[in-house]
Each structure stands twice: as structure tokens, then as C-alpha cells.
Amino acid sequence: MEYDIFFSISQTPDHNGFTPSESEMFTNYYAQLQAADRLGFGVAWIAQAHLSTKTQQSNSKPVVPHWKGEVGLCTDFCQLALESFRRTENIDVGSAVISILSSGGPIAQAERIANTVQFLSQMDSKRKLHVGFSAGRFEFMARPYGIVPRDEIEEAAWPALRGQIFMEASEIFLRLIRGDTIHSDDIRKTVLTRENFRSDEDWERVQQAAGTPDLPESIEISRRYDFEEISVVPKEWPRGQLELIAGTHDPKAQEFVNNFMPVKVFNLSITSPEVIDSTHQKMSEIFHPNGGQWQRRDMPRTTFVFLNSEPGLSPEQQSAAAHEEARLALGEYWKALEGTLDPKKVERAADNALIGNASEVAEQVKNRFHPDDRLMCWFDFFNHDSERVIRNMEAWWNEVVPLLE
């Protein structure tokens, strides 16, 4: 089993109402990152966000209307990744995830990634940049970049159409990363049919919006990206120092992106074991051959870790304290996301987290994960006590991991 770490850098109030400054948030991140490097975590995965969550609450259609603070402070992953490499010696750095629909779109993101890997190679020829990419964590982050419905048909087809825009953007992004020279005419066309929608009613609304006498069997949507021949600079950079991961749970999208390059996949902490197993089976069949044989480690398993190994407490007291910490943190999360506290959702989230003292957490890992899995451990979830977060990371390596070996 392998162990990565996830950093949210989320500037939100904890259960005591405390919110660190932006400067304090990054000071905490660097301290935790350097501890992770020292302890032996494999990849430091950084959540990326775009634009202010607080400001979007004044929009006509706010996506996250109740969130207090900012969902994430890492709005330029490439710069933070390079700074993270400079401050560490062994750990890889990854994005979870960049939006290829934001910050200039897939063309700008491809060129940015190529430059970042080239700069990394001049500092360290062995470590890798892991780029998780998606349509974006929240829709408001891509709206200012033109990812909105352009007419009545697109309005009726949203949000299914947004998934198709991601496919178009993914092909552009991956082919430019691969080193291709491309024209927009080379890129897949977006053609909507019944299979793109969850119900007959949803598809019929799109057909009616087309305004034709007969309901069409398919509807072609004009391109989002229109350009003549382009390629990105740099051209000669060590692509072997780049790993790509798709932040999508759509099996068709996972297969599509692997037509171009080896692209691994993420999973959510709440993903069921059945979906995990079926995804591994599917990926073993469709993973791009240049990536070698698919392995379980190719899909990092995200998991909350509420570990209490504080001195002066009995194992029973540590366990009780960990469960209370989990309840408070998960409760704040659901209140921030939905504006209300649903105890059932908190309970379900807790069922998918690792909670307890060291021996309890080790037992949960054994029961829930395959020995060949790679865990993405999330220690800083709604927790701004950086010293405590680091103690939990140390307890993971010094007390939990030995029980798993």
C-alpha cells in the first residue's frame, strides 16, 4: 500500500469560527508539505480553485450560496507546484484538480503545464508533476471564460452539454501536451443524442428547443474553440515527468481521453466499493498502452483521516475525541455546502472516513482497502491547527503504517 496526502488550502471557518488569513494558510501549507516530504508521503495533491467563492454568492445564480470563506486559495497550481518542489526533496506534487475550462481554457493550460514540467526538469530530473484535470470543481469558476449556454438549445441541454464541452477541451489539451499540431477542424464534433441525457423528458426538451417540425434524432453543437493550426511551446520537454489523471467519473470520458495519452482516474471518498472495482476492471481494458499495464495504484483512493493519538489520553479517550472531531468537521462542511446540517449526510460521510485512535484507523484501512491501493490521505479537513495536523501525519507514519505492514 502507498500513501499520498491531500491539501485543500481551504480558507473556511472551523467549528470554532476561526478563519486564518491568506498568509497563515500558506504558512500552514508549507509546514505540512515539508513534514509530508520528511515522513515519506509519495505525492502532495493540491486542490485548485478559481475565483472568489464569496464574490460568486452575489451572482444571479450562485453555485455555492452558503459557503463561508473561500473554497480554495490555490488558484495557480503551476506556480505553487514549482514553489513546493523548491521547498522539498523527495515528494511529487499533483493537482486535484485543475479546470481546463478556466484560466484561458485547454490551450493555455497545455502550454502552462509544458512549461512547468520543463522548469521542474531543470531543478530535479527524477520527480514528477501529476496533473489532475477536469471541467472544474464548481461551475461558477468557468462561467467568466464563456462556459455558459449560448442559445436556447444549449440552455435546454445544460448541464449534459457541459460534459461534452469537457470532452472537446480534453482532446485539445491532450493533443497539445502530446506535441501535436492541431486545427479546430481536427477536434471531435459535439453531437447530442438521447444517450447524453438521463431521461426521455430531458432529451425531448432539447429536441423541442431545436425548433424543427420533427423532433431531430441528433443535434450538432457548434465548437467552443475555433482556431487555425497551433502547437505549444516548449516542444522538447521531458514528458516522462508528467502523469495525467482525469477528474471525471463518466466511463465514456475516461475511455475517450485514453485515446490520446495514458490518463489515470480519481475517485471520491464516498465512491462505493462496487464502483471502485468496476472502474479498475474498465481501466484495465481501456488504459492507453503507453502507460503500461493498469494497476490499482493508478487510481488514488481519497479518504478523510480523523486520527487522534494525542498524549495523555487513553485509547478509549483518543477514539472518542477522534469521533467528535470528525462530527464537528463534517458538520461544518455540510453546513457550508448546503446551508443546513443534515445529520444523515454527516453520518454517511463519517462511514467513509478513517476515524479513531491508531489501532482503530489501521483496522479500518485493512477492512476497506486492497493491499495494492494507494491512499490519498486528507488530514487538514476543516482543521486549521497546523501543529495538530502535523502530529496526526506523524502518528499515521509512526503508529498506523507499522500496523499495516
Return the C-alpha cell found at 138: 464548481
Min mean pLDDT across 31-45, 81-95, 301-315, 343-357 is at 343-357
pLDDT of residue 348: 67
CA angle 177, 178, 181 (to 5 degrees): 90
In the β-sheet with 92-99, what is the strand arrangement from edge to edge?
A: 264-265, 242-246, 129-134, 92-99, 43-46, 2-7, 374-378, 301-307, 354-356
Is the pLDDT confidence value at 345 over 80?
no
Confidence of residue 332 (pLDDT cuts 50, 70, 90): confident
Find the mean pLDDT for residues 49-59.
Answer: 95
pLDDT of residue 267: 82
Confidence of residue 330 (pLDDT cuts 50, 70, 90): confident
Find the mean pLDDT for residues 195-220.
Answer: 96
Confidence of residue 271 (pLDDT cuts 50, 70, 90): confident
Quickly list H helices, 228-287: 251-257, 273-286
Is the pLDDT confidence value at 257 over 60?
yes
- In one letter, which amino acid is 355? I
Is the pLDDT confidence value at 253 over 90?
yes
* Residue 7, phi then psi, degrees to nearest 5: -120, 120
CB of 161 closer than 8 Å to CB of 149: yes
CB of 306 closer than 8 Å to CB of 382: no
Q: What is the dihedral of CA 186, 187, 192, 194, to 10 degrees?
A: 100
SS3 assignment, position 6: strand
Q: Is the pTM of this model over 0.85?
A: yes
Separation CA 212–CA 204 (nearest Å): 12
Separation CA 396–CA 258 (nearest Å): 35
Q: Look at 334 and 358; give whichever has higher pLDDT.
A: 358
Please give the biggest Cα pair distance in the chain: 77
Mean pLDDT of the chain: 94
Separation CA 76–CA 79 (nearest Å): 6
Find the mean pLDDT for residues 268-285.
Answer: 87
